[in-house]
Amino acid sequence: MMQKRKYLSYTLPLIFFFMMLIDGHVSSSLLSAFSVPMDFTSNLLLMFLMFATFQMEKTYLVIWSSVIGLLYDSYFYNVIGINLILFPILVILIYSLFEHVYPNTFTIILSFIVFVTAISVGRVFLLVLFKLTSTTILDFFARTLAPTLCLNIILIAVLVVPLKSMFNVKK
């Protein structure tokens, strides 16, 4: 157990970086595959951050979520602050939630859906606040949140069992 945690502490930053890149590719591939005006946002990085909370210390994960949030912002938005703020806040919320909720498959899936919704709402709120986008609530729900939730529900349903095994989630 301790050996796995030590191994993960060295490999997780690379995994987070690759998940960030894969998120971008999955999202853009789906956007180009469907010629509809919708925004599919993959959240594999958030999924790995959530599962990492079961193995890693809070301080370690908050620091790395900040670093990956900074990279995410500079790579996707060219504006620093959106995910730099949201990722550490969500990691802290994930730790808080799973201190009180037993992490079985069902609660992990439901929690992930809540966190995907939170990060999507947080992103659009900050983007509107900084005047980087102008969108209506209806547009956001219909064109961004609904497709994002559909995609991420499929991803978590497929990956929950392998990730539970990888991160040794047996609380």
Model's pTM, two decimal places?
0.94
Domain count across the chain: 1
Mean pLDDT by 10 residues, the chain (171 residues): 72 96 94 85 97 95 97 89 96 97 96 98 91 89 95 97 91 57
Residue 151 φ/ψ, nearest 5 degrees: -60, -45
62 found inside a domain: yes
66 found inside a domain: yes
| Of the candidates 148, 158, 166, 164, the residue with the CA atom closest to the CA atom of residue 26 | 148
Domain with 44 in it:
2-166
pLDDT in tens, 65-99: 999 999 999 998 888 899 999 999 999 999 999 99
Start-to-end CA distance of the chain, whole Å, equals: 13
Q: Mapping DSSP to helix (H, G, I), strand (E, B) and coil, where does residue 170 land?
A: coil
171 found inside a domain: no
